[in-house]
């Protein structure tokens, strides 16, 4: 459902108010970015220009299947970073209905800190829920811009929680500097871990709800998968001994993985696999330590800049796709419907129709 646009503030004013720490101004900018209000781009540019000297904030992606405990884990991460004085912003994405466009955004329920509600009075925490609004990669169109706005607003840690994902929603890898892939015990056999898709994007793996049965096995299977991947990346065949593939002890250091990692080219490593119980906070300090180690390495190795450049290109491409669809919808004369009929009647193939539509968009753009 739509309603009339809100009055546009001046970009300078919004940027200045955000720099003064006004939460309402940041909240307004985030809405404007989501709605692609024309002034929002200028405001974000100004804000980032004024804060360009402060450097990058650690953007942490938290992703995993529905119910794996992402939001609860984010709640504990907020607490851990606040305890050492970092200002923390969170973007929590939940799905929009493909039928009505509506959404229930419920991640905030679990991000309210310890009972009593004291976090509500903490100016160092800013949580914003976003609906995916038709995007299928686990984020929304404006998520990347929103995270940059939070970074520029002075939050040293920006956590982005994706929608609950299945196997192929990997957009978070292009937005976040570090991706925590949250899973839980009992979610499939070890073939699941060698499939393509989300298992490839974790920089740190958290097996959450690790107080449940099967946690050790889950850790073992993920570690085996990562070890094989690391060996393959190093350009040599992985050991095929059953012991390597199945593992034998989840808690002992992983001799083979370490061994494999030692010979890897710099920049490559075997991602840590940690056990967490978000509900109680168990394992959270280890997770933060792993994130710190990764962040330090990203900064000194120059990988951070490269990763951000890659993300920026992916973001621009996604916006270009949106733009093409907007242009398509602006085409007049019912060409799309006509072509659809021809495809159904067997007079044309869909690929040919796509070519014709693309030609029409280009012609229209040229006039």
Partner 1 sequence: MERKIRVLVAKPGLDGHDRGAKVVARALRDEGMEVIYTGLRQTPEQIVQAAIQEDVDVVAMSILSGAHSHLFPRVMELLAERGVDDVLVVGGGVIPEDDIPFLKEKGIAAVFGPGTPTRTTIDFIKSNLKRR
Q: Which residues bind partner 1 (CB under 8 A)?
A: 1-7, 23-24, 27-28, 30-31, 35-36, 96-97, 100-106, 108-109, 112, 117, 120-121, 126-129, 131, 133
Q: Are 278 and 72 in contact (CB under 8 A)?
A: yes
> Do the beta carbons of residue 56 and residue 177 sit within 8 Å?
yes
- CA distances 334 to 58, 328, 338, 364, Å, are 48, 11, 6, 14
Instruction: Kindly tell me which of 109 and 136 has the beta carbon lying closer to partner 1.
Output: 109
Sign of the four-CA dihedral 186, 189, 194, 195: negative
Q: Provide the β-strand partners of residue 129.
A: 92
Give the nearest distance from C-beta 322 to partner 1 in angstroms. 10
CB nearer to partner 1: give 101 or 267.
Answer: 101
* Least CB distance to partner 1 at residue 80 (A): 20
Rounded distance between C-alpha atoms, residue 80 and residue 82, angstroms: 6
Nearer to partner 1, 5 or 293 (CB): 5
Least distance in angstroms from the C-beta of 150 to partner 1: 11
- Least distance between partner 1 and beta carbon 60 (Å): 19
Residue number, 27 or 296, with CB nearest to partner 1? 27
Assess contact for 74 and 88: CB atoms under 8 A. no
Closest to partner 1 by CB, 45 vs 108, is: 108
| Residue with token string 């493909």 | 98
Q: Which two tokens stand for residue 20?
A: 């003064």
**Shortest distance, position 345 Cβ to partner 1, whole Å:** 34
Phi-psi bin for 334: left (phi > 0), alpha (psi -120 to 50), beta? left
Contact 52, 148 (CB under 8 A): no
Cβ at position 44, least distance to partner 1 in Å: 15
Would you say 15 or 225 has its CB closer to partner 1? Answer: 15
CB of 92 to partner 1, least distance (A): 10
**What is the smallest separation between the CB atom of 40 and partner 1, expressed in angstroms?**
11
Report how far residue 280's alpha carbon sits from residue 274's, in angstroms, rounded to the nearest whole number: 15
Spell 309-342 as b/e; 16+ CB within 10 A means b.
Answer: eebeebbeebeeeeeeeebeeeeeeeeeeebeeb
**48 or 133: CB nearest partner 1:** 133
| Helix (H/G/I), strand (E/B), else coil: 128 | strand
For residue 197, give Cα distances in angstroms to 64, 173, 363: 12, 11, 38
Which residue lies nearer to partner 1 by CB, 3 or 241?
A: 3
């Amino acid at each position: 459902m739509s309603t009339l646009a809100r009055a546009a503030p001046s970009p300078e004013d919004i940027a200045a108010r955000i720099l003064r720490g006004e939460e309402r101004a940041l909240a307004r900018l985030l809405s404007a970015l989501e709605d692609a209000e024309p002034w929002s781009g200028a405001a974000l540019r100004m804000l980032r220009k004024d804060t360009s000297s402060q450097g990058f904030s650690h953007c942490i992606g938290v992703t995993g299947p529905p119910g794996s405990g992402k939001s609860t884990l984010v709640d504990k991460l907020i607490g851990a970073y606040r305890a050492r004085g970092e200002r923390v912003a969170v973007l929590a994405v939940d799905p929009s209905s493909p039928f009505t466009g509506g959404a229930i955004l419920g991640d905030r329920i679990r991000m309210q800190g310890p009972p009593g509600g004291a976090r509500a009075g903490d100016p160092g925490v800013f949580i914003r829920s976003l609906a995916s609004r038709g995007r299928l990669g686990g984020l929304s169109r404006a998520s990347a811009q929103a995270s940059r706005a939070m970074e520029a607003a002075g939050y040293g840690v920006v956590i982005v929680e994706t929608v609950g994902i299945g196997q192929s929603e990997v957009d978070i890898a292009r937005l976040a500097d570090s991706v925590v892939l949250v899973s839980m015990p009992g979610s499939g056999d070890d073939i699941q871990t060698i499939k393509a898709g989300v298992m490839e994007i974790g920089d740190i793996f958290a097996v959450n709800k690790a107080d449940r049965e099967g946690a050790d096995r889950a850790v073992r299977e993920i570690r085996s998968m990562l070890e094989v991947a690391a060996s393959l990346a190093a350009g040599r065949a992985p050991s095929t001994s059953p012991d390597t593939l199945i593992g034998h002890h989840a808690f002992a250091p992983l001799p083979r993985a370490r061994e494999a990692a030692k010979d890897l080219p710099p920049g490559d490593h075997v991602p840590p696999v940690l056990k967490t119980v978000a509900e109680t906070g168990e394992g959270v300090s280890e997770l933060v330590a792993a994130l710190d180690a990764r962040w330090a390495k990203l900064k000194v190795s120059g990988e951070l800049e490269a990763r951000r450049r890659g993300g920026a290109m992916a973001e621009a491409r996604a916006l270009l796709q949106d733009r093409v669809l907007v242009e398509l919808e602006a085409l007049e004369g019912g060409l799309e419907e006509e072509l659809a009929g021809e495809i159904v009647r067997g007079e044309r193939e869909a690929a040919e129709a796509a070519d014709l539509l693309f030609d029409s968009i280009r012609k229209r753009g040229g006039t």
